[in-house]
A and B are shown apart, each in its own frame.
Chain A
Amino acid sequence: MAKIVGRVWKYGDDVNTDVIFPGKYTYTVTDPAEMARIAMEDLDADFAKNVQPDDIVVAGKNFGCGSSREQAAFCLKYAGVGAVVARSFSRLYFRNCINAGLPALTLPESADIFVAGERIEIDLSAGTIQCQAGLFHFPPLPEAVIGIFNDGGLIPHTRKALGIDS
């Protein structure tokens, strides 16, 4: 797995799915580019305008709490986000990230150690994050889900498992 180098977008605790991808869009916005444009709309109006490929969203505890809506994971992926690092994730958000093929990394020190805007480097295979505050280790993803992640998400993984894609 590759390295991800990007700038930090820093947020607090309990960032919920409604501010990442507002409920009012769940049945009306489906185009990936449009989804990327409304990512984080009710949390940070500057995010969608300024986010660059491989930028990294860091947050405190319980990131992605609330709805099961997976657009809240996909919209960050479509916006180019390389990874999400949080002290903890809501279980549905974590699942949705895996299913979207977006790295969701749990780091107990997050988000205190990060400075907004700093450039950090994540090494997925080594399980490390290098930032100004030092080198930090995150626990590996559960083995049973790594296969899904490596295949690029749940749908390509399922196609492969069913022998539709080899």
Chain B
Amino acid sequence: MGKTFAEKVLGQKAGKNVVPGEIVEVKPDIAMSHDNTAAISKTFKEIGVAKIDDPNRHVIVLDHCVPAANEKFAQNHKDIRAFVAEQGIPNFFDIDRGICHQVLPEEGFALPGYLMVGSDSHSTTYGAFGALATGIGRSEMAVIFATGKIWLRVPETMKIIVKGRLPKWISSKDVMLKIMGDLSADGGLYKSVWFTGPAIAEMSVSSRMVLTNMAVEFGAKNGYMEPDDQTLAFLKGRARAPFTVVTSDPDAELESVHEFDVSDLEPLVACPHSVDNVKPVSAVKGTRIDQVFFGSCTNARIEDFEIVAGVMKGKRVHPSCRMVVIPASRQVFLEALAKGYIQILGEAGATIVNSGCGPCMGNHEGILAPGERVLSTSNRNFKGRFGCKDSEIYLCSPLTAAASALTGEISDFREHL
């Protein structure tokens, strides 16, 4: 019997043959933390170890509230900079760099066959590069700082085959909303989810990242794709270290296989307050919106800017609606600037802010008031996520977001293109 990707990666790390359900103690290759590093460093100090186990293992990115919105956030950042200096951590990215899940791949830390953990649930994103990547808690990260080690359960594998050819303008976001709407918010609970099939093969690396980013939204431990030529081209000249591609054996035991044919997929929207409350845009079109948020680690990469700018060129954001734009990273921002997309969005009346998480988890730069409604390209629409429990969050693709910003209501872009 062959082995799955997850069994191989965890088995290599554990130095033995492992089976699903087994709990292993392993040392991850990369451990990511962000603004929560200040709290983690305090817990690390409580453990009573003076020096961290391996400074090179850690990557720290300030992104959740950058630049600091108030004194508390400023102190938080200050504490992190002091910790980084004290411990000699080389891989530190300050407030000018972007969202962690975009920065790690751009900087060549997300590599095939790697075991990666992050004290952030969307650390699953790195699976788009063939890594086994998952989120962990703050205390667990503090222990990795102290010992380098963490316990992980070897997951069962769920294979999702995405067949067919995506209709023009339908994006990987629509594909992921379809998968979650069908399988529900706990459909992938504890699973290692393997995304494969012809529609995935045709997607860009950025589009694939949308699927792995949101894998946690239906409970998955990790989501991954097997690296192909596109992945390797992305990593060329970027990878920080040599790596070995790890893939599932053809006869490995899978817990389940699900097939989706996306040939006739419609634009989809996840309605409040859960990510599996998915409806076709035709069912909710005309719903008034107060704000569009084009940002987050899910959908604010250059290909998304190209689409949004293409729709908004020479047009204006509807006067009854605001539009907040946050490029996923400074690299994305600079490229969008060079290509004229920022100019187009600025002229259209969008509010463009520094790369980071912004309002995505309710910190700053576009918090909602009670009774307001946002249409967002982000990944999570839980009550209160945009900082106000009496507001509503709808999730969609960048194209649906752009078309709706122009009309001030949820719109089917196919009627406007």
Contact = CB atoms under 8 A, between A and B. Distances in A.
Interface of A: 14, 16-19, 22-24, 26-28, 30, 41-42, 61-62, 65-70, 73, 88, 90-92, 95-96, 99-100, 142, 144-145, 153-155, 158-159, 161-162, 164
B137 A99 contact: yes
28 contacts: A14-B186, A18-B383, A18-B384, A19-B382, A22-B384, A24-B384, A27-B35, A27-B36, A27-B76, A62-B185, A66-B121, A68-B120, A68-B135, A68-B138, A69-B138, A90-B219, A91-B219, A92-B137, A99-B137, A142-B23, A142-B153, A144-B23, A153-B139, A154-B140, A159-B47, A162-B48, A162-B49, A162-B147
A65 B362 contact: no
B384 A92 contact: no
Interface in B98-148: 118-121, 123, 135-140, 142-143, 146-147
B281 interface: no
Interface string B25-54: 000000000011001000100111100000
Given A66-B382, A68-B119, A155-B142, A91 B387 contact: no
Contacts of B140: 95, 99, 154
B248 to A, nearest CB: 21
What DSSP secondary structure best describes chain B's contact surface? loop
B47 A26 contact: no
Contacts, number: 131
B389 A14 contact: no
B47 A23 contact: no
B221 interface: yes
Interface of B: 23, 35-36, 39, 43, 46-49, 64-65, 72-73, 76, 118-121, 123, 135-140, 142-143, 146-147, 151, 153, 185-186, 189-190, 219, 221, 274, 361-363, 367, 380, 382-385, 387, 389
B23 A16 contact: no
Interface centre among A30, A41, A68 (most CB of B within 10 A): A68
9 nearest CB pairs, A to B: A23-B361, A62-B186, A144-B23, A24-B362, A18-B382, A70-B137, A42-B389, A42-B384, A68-B135
A162 B389 contact: no
Contacts of A153: 139
Contacts of B46: 155
Nearest to B75: A27
Nearest to A60: B186
Contacts of B382: 16-19, 66
Given A27-B363, A154-B143, A162-B49, A95 B219 contact: no
A162 B146 contact: yes
Nearest to B68: A27
Contacts of B123: 68
Interface centre among A23, A145, A159, A164 (most CB of B within 10 A): A23
B120 A88 contact: no
A26 to B, nearest CB: 7
Contacts of A24: 361-363, 367, 384, 387
A152 B323 CA distance: 47
A41 B382 CA distance: 13
Nearest to B138: A70
